[in-house]
């Protein structure tokens, strides 16, 4: 095999607290990230298992290009059976751990079993010399920022970290997995948030992972000169093209457009536009940079997009990073919370506790909608997050997500897909995206296949959704960030350069489709049926927009067509960019 050699899999047995190394299969060399996680789960995890039991498998898989000089390519997929959806789940995060794992030649960490004592906590040390499970009882219950500050004082400056907060230790279904970013303070601000995989990590007694590549160089491609030329040319084209301007101020700048399109949900999605769009607009964050400091930065080494904002408080002290569109929507507009600064406080609390801001915002909005908290009560929402840390009954219900709080409150309006809260991008004005929520193995997840085209004709919904899902699966497998917006031919070109052999665009497309098939097969084994490929009544029957005219009225046959068989590529397929 040309290109990187000697790759290995890290296998961790949390029942015995031991770790071992296996050779990485030769025929898997083009599998990484989401596709690798799906393959491991399909082959090694019983789909019918208890998500919080010892039989579930937790996978941490960098993308194929992570650890190379390819720009913005250091993403990592966290995978497992989701305690939130009951099906397969992949959640994607930036930061440096994926880069560092791949520099050391570790293609994935596969964690199985769980300690006999549920009160014990462990860490995992990963270095060029090997892997070791160590005691971490002293870190039990620590919030993410204090935890990483403590670990950073113990390990070298070259180390990066993966961790969970109290929500993961409490095995709450909305718990996230944090990765440290490229900032010198190594902040735990990059979260593989969706699907409750932090609870899976917590169920295995694994509090943190430390990865230290020391001064190990980037992965060496088969043809260094050609690969370097490719990387430089791609970076130059990005920086000089429209994509660089699109993401100049990050996703928070999307607020005005989303509000115009009726996909800036207000008061638990009873409306598609918020009267507070101006005070939640990311432009207000940008305006704060001059007076308070902060600014835009790259969450991972080698990122050329730099879409992540660093938010400071009124005294110029760091508060959170990054305050994204999804968070401004779900913890802001959807809860009728009007100030971006209150949302920043809530975002920091979620990162500290290790919680998905989408799931948590949706849960708080359902509580408000059912009369359990006043609309717009930002201080009350903050108290709720503290209740999660305290382990109150209400706090745990919020931490378990939208479906759990809806059940507790006996509320009728619970906007979910396959048990997972819908993200900001609403399926009523964006119906092809709604087809993605219905058919994606991931449930309500915009990164699985987002189509922001409200004018798309109905006869194109199924194919647009399928193609977007396929392209995004391939992107999540490559290690590229979706905001780099790579096409399948571009991914193929980088694979070819890395391995010194021709990898066709068709081959990359086939791998994306196979990833989806692996995930659908896992979900079938977990008990999912065609009845699960739908959205709730509140989305089908309650409209948004002028006179409530926009409803998700896509018929069952159209939805079924998106996964029934693979479409012949559309005219725009090979030029379509990954987007989330």
Q: What is the pLDDT of residues 436-477, one digit of tens each?
A: 999 999 999 999 999 999 999 999 999 999 999 999 999 999
* Whether residues 60 and 180 fall in one domain: yes
190 belongs to a structural domain = yes
Tell me the two tokens of residue 229.
Answer: 């030329």
Tokens standing for residue 29: 């060399």
135 backbone dihedrals φ, ψ, rounded to 5°: -70, 140
Q: Is the pLDDT of residue 1 over 70?
A: no
Domain endpoint, select from 392, 421, 450? 421
CATH number, position 252 = 1.10.569.10
Q: Is 111 helix (H, G, I), strand (E, B) or coil?
A: strand
Residue 401 is assigned to a structural domain of this protein: yes
Whether residues 321 and 375 fall in one domain: yes
- Same domain for 270 and 152, yes or no, is no
CA 146 to CA 51: how far, in whole Å? 28
C-alpha distance across the termini of the chain, in Å: 33
Residues 416 and 439 in one domain: no
In angstroms, the CA 338 to CA 121 distance is 39
Average pLDDT, rounded, for the chain: 97
Same domain flag for 100 and 161: yes
Q: Measured between alpha carbons, how far is 69 from 46 in angstroms, rounded to an integer?
A: 37
**Whether residue 508 is found in the same domain as residue 470:** yes
8 A C-beta contact, residue 98 and residue 63: yes
Q: What is the 3 state secondary structure string of 386-411?
A: HHHHHCCHHHHHHHCCHHHHHHHHCC
Say if strands 295-297 and 308-312 run parallel, antiparallel, or are unpaired.
antiparallel
**Rounded mean pLDDT, 354-383:** 98
Domain match, 185 and 83 both: yes
Query: Does 231 reside within a domain?
Result: no
**Residue 302 domain-assigned (yes or no):** yes
The answer, yes or no, to whether residue 275 has pLDDT greater than 60, is yes
For residue 193, the domain's CATH number is 3.60.9.10
Final residue belonging to a domain, choices 421, 455, 488: 421
pLDDT for the residue numbered 2:
40
Asked whether residue 221 is assigned to any structural domain, the reply reads: no
Please, which pLDDT band fits residue 6 given cuts at 50, 70 and 90?
confident
How many domains are contained in the chain? Answer: 3
Query: Does residue 352 sit in the same domain as residue 408?
Result: yes
Mean pLDDT of 265-288: 98
Q: Give pLDDT tens digits for 412-444.
A: 999 999 999 999 999 999 999 999 999 999 999
Instruction: List all residues 6 or more positions away from 233 whose beta carbon is below 8 Å from its beta carbon.
Output: none
The token duo for 308 is 């992540």
Residues 415 and 440 in one domain: no
41 with 166, same domain? yes
- Residue at 229 is within a domain: no
Does residue 96 share a domain with residue 48? yes
Give the distance, in angstroms, between the CA of residue 451 and the centroid of all CA atoms in the same chain: 17
Domain around 516? 431-575
> Dmax of the chain from CA atoms?
64
Do 16 and 158 share a domain, yes or no? yes
| Among 368, 393, 421, residue at a domain's last position | 421
Note whether residue 226 is domain-resident. Answer: no
* 544: helix, strand or coil: strand
* Per-residue confidence (pLDDT) for residue 3, from 0 to 100: 45
The torsion region of residue 376 among left (phi > 0), alpha (psi -120 to 50) and beta comes to: left
Pairing assessment for the beta strands 88-93 and 76-81 based on DSSP bridges: antiparallel
Q: How are beta strands 8-13 and 106-112 bridged, if at all? A: parallel
Confidence category of residue 4, pLDDT binned at 50, 70, 90: low
Strand partners, 318: 312
Give the rounded percent of residues in the chain with a pLDDT score beyond 70.
99
pLDDT at 245: 86
pLDDT at 463: 98
- pLDDT at 505 > cutoff 80: yes
Query: Do the domain assignments include residue 580?
Result: no
Q: Which residues contact 506 (CB under 8 A, 6 or more apart)?
A: none
């Amino acid at each position: 095999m040309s290109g990187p050699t000697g790759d290995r899999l890290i296998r961790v047995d949390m029942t015995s607290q031991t770790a071992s190394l296996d050779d990485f299969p030769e025929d898997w060399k083009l599998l990484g990230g989401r596709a690798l996680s799906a393959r491991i789960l399909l082959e090694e995890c019983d789909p019918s298992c208890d998500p919080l039991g010892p039989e579930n498998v937790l996978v941490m898989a960098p993308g194929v290009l992570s650890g190379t000089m390819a720009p913005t390519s250091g993403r990592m997929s966290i995978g497992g059976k989701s305690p939130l959806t009951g099906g397969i789940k992949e959640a994607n995060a930036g930061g440096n751990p994926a880069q560092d794992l791949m520099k050391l030649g570790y293609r994935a960490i596969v964690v199985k079993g769980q300690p006999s004592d549920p009160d014990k906590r462990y860490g995992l040390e990963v270095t060029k010399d090997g892997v070791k499970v160590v005691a971490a009882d002293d870190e039990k219950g620590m919030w993410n920022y204090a935890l990483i500050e403590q670990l950073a004082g113990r390990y070298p400056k070259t180390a990066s970290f993966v961790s969970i907060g109290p929500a993961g230790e409490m095995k709450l279904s909305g718990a996230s997995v944090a990765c440290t970013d490229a900032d010198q303070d190594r902040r735990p601000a990059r979260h593989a948030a969706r699907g409750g995989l932090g609870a899976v990590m917590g169920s295995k007694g694994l509090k943190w992972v430390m990865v230290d590549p020391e001064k190990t160089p980037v992965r060496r491609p088969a043809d260094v000169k050609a690969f370097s030329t490719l990387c430089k040319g791609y970076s130059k084209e990005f920086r000089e093209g429209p994509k660089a301007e699109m993401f100049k101020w990050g996703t928070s700048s999307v607020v005005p457009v989303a509000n115009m399109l009726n996909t800036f949900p207000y008061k638990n999605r009873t409306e598609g536009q918020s009267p507070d769009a101006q005070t939640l607009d990311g432009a207000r964050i940008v305006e704060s940079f001059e007076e308070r400091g902060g600014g835009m930065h790259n969450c991972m080494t080698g990122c050329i997009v730099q879409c992540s904002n660093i938010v400071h408080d009124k005294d110029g002290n760091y508060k959170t990073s990054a305050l994204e569109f999804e968070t401004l929507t779900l913890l802001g507009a959807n809860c009728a919370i009007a100030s971006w600064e209150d949302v920043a406080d809530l975002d920091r609390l979620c990162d500290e506790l290790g919680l998905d801001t989408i799931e948590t915002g949706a849960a708080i909005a359902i509580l408000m909608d059912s009369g359990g908290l006043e609309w717009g009560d930002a201080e009350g929402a903050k108290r709720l997050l503290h209740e999660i840390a305290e382990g109150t009954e209400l706090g745990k219900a919020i931490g378990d997500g939208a479906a759990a709080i809806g059940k507790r409150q006996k509320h009728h309006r619970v906007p979910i897909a396959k048990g997972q809260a819908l993200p900001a991008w609403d399926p009523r004005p964006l119906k092809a995206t709604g087809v993605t929520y219905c058919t994606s193995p991931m449930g309500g997840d915009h990164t699985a296949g987002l189509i922001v085209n409200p004018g798309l004709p109905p006869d194109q919904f199924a194919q647009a959704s399928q193609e977007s899902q396929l392209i995004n699966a391939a992107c999540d497998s490559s290690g590229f960030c979706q905001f780099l917006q790579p096409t399948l031919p571009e991914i193929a070109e980088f694979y070819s350069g890395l391995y010194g052999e021709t990898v066709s665009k068709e081959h990359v497309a086939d791998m994306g489709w196979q990833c989806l098939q692996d995930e659908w097969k896992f979900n079938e084994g977990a008990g999912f049926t065609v009845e699960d490929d739908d959205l709730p009544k509140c989305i089908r029957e309650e409209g948004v927009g002028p006179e409530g005219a926009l409803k998700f009225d896509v018929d069952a046959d159209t939805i079924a067509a998106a996964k029934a068989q693979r479409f012949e590529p559309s005219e725009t397929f090979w030029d379509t960019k990954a987007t989330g």
